Structure 1
């Protein structure tokens, strides 16, 4: 049974030495504080303190996943493993931030780090994973506060079919298609959606 839990409580900036160097009530507030302190975005990560049975830390990596899954939950969309991979890839590109390292793979960009983080969320009971028609799907089991910046970017893509996302990614990021096993199929998608 799904519980209605407010996950986010406090945002913390962590420097390269894993020291807390700023805190605030929003992602944007922490970024502004760090900018004033002279930090570049690549020099720190943002952690989010959350509530549950006990306090846990959710990193910027988890914030992007939870925002996308919460947006899907609100729109009553169930996301496949592949669609989550493509959504996170596109959102990262648009944000200019690399939370997860992506490499070219069978269906375009793939991140083993993202797959591992999803598995951790499943093991912690935050996300439910189930199989249907030989594919894995994921659903958020609790209500999560969304990162506004991630939400704005993800909102553009979340309702689009996987075929559209693949057509778009293959057109914009051909370097991520080197090992693809579906190039010909994606060309058909590109024609269908008029994406060249």
Structure 2
């Protein structure tokens, strides 16, 4: 289990909620795109253990992220709720506790990685917090066209 990746997702949800004043993030697509942007525009170097993205149906996609979401749901670190427009994701009380504990624990062994990942996520959230998911998707498809759906053979 990659604790740095779990930390990154929990931290992203936490910071997104803090910055937007919301209690949730809408949809997996938002998670995928924001983590993708934090990697690409946060200038995370290749040596940083982070998510790998590939072109897919809705643009940049990480199979690792899907696994991490499943793990976090299983351990009740996040909840997934169905709404009229799709799913939302929220940190649970345990999720809030774990993100703090992981940060403290990971800082002992990987202080540099934690610092760089937090900086990349913070920068991404500040830049895109007022974008709708459609605006983020349009931006990603235009700027990173190699990841746009029309460039991927989905068969």
What stretches of structure 2 of length at least 5 have no aligned partner?
A: 104-114
What stretches of structure 1 of length at least 5 have no aligned partner?
A: 1-56, 182-196
Q: Which structure has the larger Rg?
A: 1
CA contact (8 A) 1:87 1:158 kept: no
Query: What TM-score comes out, normalization by structure 1 length?
Result: 0.57
Query: How big is the alpha-carbon RMSD for the aligned residues of Structure 1 and Structure 2?
Result: 2.4
* CA distance in structure 1 between the aligned counterparts of 2:72 and 2:127, rounded to whole angstroms: 24
Q: What residue is the counterpart of 2:122 in the other structure?
A: 151
* CA distance in structure 2 between the aligned counterparts of 1:78 and 1:100, rounded to whole angstroms: 22
Aligned pairs, number: 125
Q: Which has the higher contact order (CA 8 A, sep 6+)?
A: 2
Q: Which has the higher strand share?
A: 1
* Aligned-partner SS, 1:108: coil
* CA distance in structure 1 between the aligned counterparts of 2:17 and 2:67, rounded to whole angstroms: 21
Q: Give how far 1:58 is off.
A: 6.3
1:133 equivalenced with 2:84 (yes/no)? yes
Query: What TM-score comes out, normalization by structure 2 length?
Result: 0.70
Q: Give how far 1:110 is off.
A: 0.9
Q: Which has the higher helix share?
A: 2
Q: Give how far 1:76 is off.
A: 0.9
Q: What residue is the counterpart of 1:95 in the other structure?
A: 42
* CA distance in structure 1 between the aligned counterparts of 2:70 and 2:88, rounded to whole angstroms: 12
1:119 equivalenced with 2:70 (yes/no)? yes
